Amino acid sequence: MSKCEQCIVREFSSLKALNKEELLKIADCKSSYTIKKGEPIFTEGENVNGIFCIKDGVCKLTKLSANGNDQIVKLISKGELLGQRSMISDEPVNLSAVALEDMEVCFIPKTEIMGLFNQNNQFSMNMMRAICGDLKEADEHLVTMAQKSVKQRLAETLVYLQDTFGINPDNSLKVKLSREELAGMVGTATESCIRLLSEFNKLGVIELSGKKITITNKAQLLKAAN
């Protein structure tokens, strides 16, 4: 079991405000898990009663729509926390979190986190800033969905996946999403997503090989979508 003070989650999240004594208290009460690809970390409507620290791997946050489809709201990668908002608001989680690849996560119970929340002003401020950042992102996503075409949203999503999660040695996008997942992230039908990918492929701005997608010209991809 790794030490909390040396963990990547501590470096990049609200936990960076905690001192060594506080981190040792967390280390004593946390639980560590391996989540296999396709498995849920938690499911919409569940009472989580704590936060999850993503030590390694990527998961998708999804919302079940009225027509029974999963809308991907966001992708979360190592160094981030999950469950902060529902823990503070004392509500069940309003999204599901599902592993896109094998993950290493730690769970810290609510009682321990709320104790730190009351004792460490910088920690509580960091956590509130993170929640405010999520709200800002949600607002921007709402505007994007309303004002941009599906073509623009798909192009920008592909660039986001490359810029945020990187590429494999063969230059293909590191995060592998099915066509259904990609469509869910863009907010369109799977058929539309497949058709637009094919269109981008014909224009030479991306290359398709099975599930693999490679951006060959980022600037031209964004230009072609306008």
Let me know whether 154 and 141 are in one domain: no
Strand partners, 167: 173
pTM of the shown model: 0.81
Let me know whether 49 and 140 are in one domain: yes
CA distance 104 to 36: 9
Cα–Cα separations (whole angstroms), residue 161 to 10, 76, 104, 122, 157: 24, 11, 21, 31, 6
What's the structural domain count of the chain? 2
Let me know whether 122 and 159 are in one domain: no
Ranges of beta strands (E only) in the chain are 31-35, 40-42, 50-56, 58-64, 70-77, 81-82, 96-99, 103-109, 206-209, 212-215
Let me know whether 114 and 204 are in one domain: no
Let me know whether 116 and 177 are in one domain: no
Q: For residue 2, name the pLDDT band (cuts at 50, 70, 90).
A: low
Let me know whether 128 and 38 are in one domain: yes
Let me know whether 12 and 90 are in one domain: yes
Note down the domain range covering 112.
4-145
Q: What is the mean pLDDT of residues 59-81?
A: 85
Which of these three, 113, 145, 177, is where a domain ends?
Answer: 145
Strand partners, 180: none
The mean pLDDT value of the chain amounts to 88
Angle, to 10 degrees, between the axis of helix 20-29 and the axis of helix 110-119? 170
Tell me the per-residue pLDDT of 123-147, one tens digit each, with 9 for 90 and over. 888 888 888 888 788 777 776 766 7
CATH code at position 72 = 2.60.120.10
CA distance 179 to 177: 6
